[in-house]
Chains A and B, each alone.
Chain A
Amino acid sequence: MRKKMPYHTKRKIYGFLFITPWLLGFLLFFAVPFIQSCLYGFQDLTTSVDGMVGEWVGLKNFSYALFRDTEFLVQCVGSLRDLVQVPLILVYSVCFALLLKKDYPGRTLMRAIAFLPVIIGSGVLMDIMKTDVFSSSVNGAETTYLFSSSGLTGFFQSMGLPVGMIGFINEVISKIFDLTWRSGVQILLFLAGLHNIPSYVYEAADIEGANALEQFFKITLPMLTPMILLNVVYSVIDIFADFGNAIIQMIYNTAFTNVRFGYSSALSILYFLMVAAVLIILYLVMKRFIVHPEE
């Protein structure tokens, strides 16, 4: 009675079965909420016992956000300005990954420390660290300021550096601080990318007499381009979806404090469109520079 299925059809069905759980989850917990969120943006919503009751208001929510809301667009520009961090994060994490790649005494320990931000760099902790640990303004005293308390300033002073310069160094270092705590995953991905470059390429370059700098710019960097793209996308999303981001808080407060669900949805859709536009532009610009090693 059982007719034998052709091998390829069978493979197709098995492949489909393997991704079925994900597909269900995607439809239930992503596609449906996403479409609903879009629809909510066109409605005025009120809660009732049985769920949401909506009233269609057309584009009112969107036009209000774009033309009448004094805060939304200002905050959008503000979070676009945060994107300045992306290139800094990339440079920092490439350098760090390079430092972690080659073997030397103490590398294991260094690697463990480098991944620390992945483990403990959550939004809430970052927020607390920013207000308490990294700021100089708490209670006016210098006890909490980054390096004054730890003796590095004293070290610089004893070396005879001028006060202005020490202040500058402190400023730079505290900026670096913020950066490093955003770069955990990026370092990890770059490290994976670096280990994926076959060693024979470098061996050949050595034989040809390329120096370390040439090897970096002509081999390492081009081979890392797919990873750079991935990291750019990751960093941009990370910054835009950050806990401390003003728009994220605004969307949240609009929905759950001011109970304006429809308007909150409209804001989040507009925000998503902005993020998507930034990502698409970045992708189109970067696409030309991506190197595909196999081809």
Chain B
Amino acid sequence: MEKVLYKLKDGKWFWTICKYAILILLAYQLLYPVLYMISSSIKDPLDSYDPSVIWIPKHLSSVSFLDAFKSMKYMDALIGSLQIGLGCAVLDVVSCSLAGYGFARYRFPFKNAFFVCVILTLMVPTQTIILPYYLNMRFFDPAGILSLFGKITGKNMAINLVGNNLAFYIPSLLGAGIRSGLYIYIFKQFFEGMSSALEESAYVDGSGPLRTFLYIMLPNAKNAIVTVFLFSFVWHFNDYYLSKQLLGTSRRTLIVALSSLRVDLSALIGGQTTTDPIRIQTRIQAGCLLTILPMFLLYMVAQRKLADSIEHMGIK
């Protein structure tokens, strides 16, 4: 506050006002969709036709929420999304922190070539490899080991991972989940920025590399861990393409459910409302709100940590 007052005296008040005007405009247009979602999902369908109702509805109604809830099969979808999001986030933190530490602190043959490969995984769109990737999961058989057993027993031993959470967990555990390359990059940058004095003293005290990593480096890498956890959670939660493919037809995540909400709603409500775009629309907005809710809550908790870690990440 003192700063502002100081600026006012200094004759910079004009710029301060300009700056806040810009900030308010930016904030408004970023919050607009969220406000719109809230406003249209809690209003009674009657209010949609009332031109005097703009933001604040005159009649509250939960019908949009209930319909969206029902037709998205919300609880099942939410559990599915959370399982994939949280599970992959934890596994990504484990695998990517290991790899990031290896790249940051050790020298070994082909290190640079390997790191180029990390970046390459980021550059190839998932869609390029989706088909073999899908088949890989449908007939999961790492390096032909299972089919080797299959030759002995005479059966097809390949496991079907489609529809199973493992189809997401295994890649994440091996640092090949959604945008894992970016997480490795973040961890590498972070560990490179840390002083090596701590490690050296740990080595002098007779601690091995893994022990040093677990007890010295990781506890000091909270910021990077929070960032990667949040990114991984959000991107797995928001993922549509892989989730739709790898979960098959039996299970859906929230995003997949949301994507087909328009179709599902018409089936649920019946013929009379399909001609009425506003009713469908308010329910879809309710669905959007329900979808972002879990991420929003997590974000509220982790926001400050994320902002701090961004400022001290030390990306070069």
Q: A interface vs B, CB < 8 Å?
A: 11-19, 21-26, 28-30, 32-34, 36-37, 40, 50-52, 96, 99, 103-106, 108-125, 127-129, 132-133, 138-139, 143-144, 146, 149-151, 173, 176-177, 180-181, 188-189, 191-193, 195-196, 226-227, 230, 233, 237, 240-241, 243, 248, 251-252, 255-256, 261, 264-265, 268-269, 271-272, 275-276, 279
Please state if B291 and A125 are interface contacts (CB–CB under 8 Å): yes
Q: A30-B120, A196-B314 are in contact. List 7 more A-B contacts (CB 8 A).
A: A99-B22, A104-B19, A119-B299, A128-B284, A129-B33, A180-B30, A192-B314
Residue of A nearest to B25 (CB): A173
What chain B residues lie within 8 Å of A173 (beta carbons)? 29
B233 to nearest A CB, angstroms? 10
What chain A residues lie within 8 Å of B3 (beta carbons)? 103-105
Which residues 94-114 in B have Cβ within 8 Å of A in the complex?
95-96, 98-99, 101-103, 105-109, 111, 114
**Is there a chain A Cβ closer than 8 Å to B174's Cβ?**
yes
Q: B interface vs A, CB < 8 Å?
A: 1, 3-4, 19-20, 22-23, 26-27, 29-34, 36, 48, 51, 54-55, 95-96, 98-99, 101-103, 105-109, 111, 114, 117-118, 120-133, 135-136, 138-139, 142-143, 156, 158, 171, 173-176, 180, 184, 209, 213, 231, 234, 238-241, 245, 255, 258-259, 277-278, 281, 284-285, 288, 291-292, 295-296, 299, 303-304, 306-307, 310-316
What chain B residues lie within 8 Å of A230 (beta carbons)? 315
Query: What are 11 of the A-B contact pairs (CB < 8 Å)?
Result: A17-B102, A19-B99, A19-B103, A22-B176, A106-B20, A119-B299, A128-B258, A139-B278, A146-B32, A191-B311, A251-B127
CA distance A267 to B229 in the complex (A): 34
CA distance A210 to B78 in the complex (A): 54
What chain B residues lie within 8 Å of A261 (beta carbons)? 131
What chain A residues lie within 8 Å of B109 (beta carbons)? 12
What chain A residues lie within 8 Å of B143 (beta carbons)? 28
Please state if A22 and B130 are interface contacts (CB–CB under 8 Å): no
What chain B residues lie within 8 Å of A28 (beta carbons)? 136, 142-143, 174, 176
A101 to nearest B CB, angstroms? 9
Residue of A12, A26, A99, A193 near B315 (CB, 8 A) is: A193
What chain B residues lie within 8 Å of A103 (beta carbons)? 3
What chain A residues lie within 8 Å of B48 (beta carbons)? 143
Please state if A29 and B171 are interface contacts (CB–CB under 8 Å): yes
Q: Identify whether the interface residues of B are mostly helix, strand, loop, or mixed.
A: helix
Please state if A30 and B135 are interface contacts (CB–CB under 8 Å): no
Most B C-beta atoms less than 10 A away, residue of A132, A146, A275: A132
CA distance A251 to B126 in the complex (A): 11
What chain A residues lie within 8 Å of B231 (beta carbons)? 118
What chain A residues lie within 8 Å of B102 (beta carbons)? 15-19, 22
Please state if A113 and B27 are interface contacts (CB–CB under 8 Å): yes
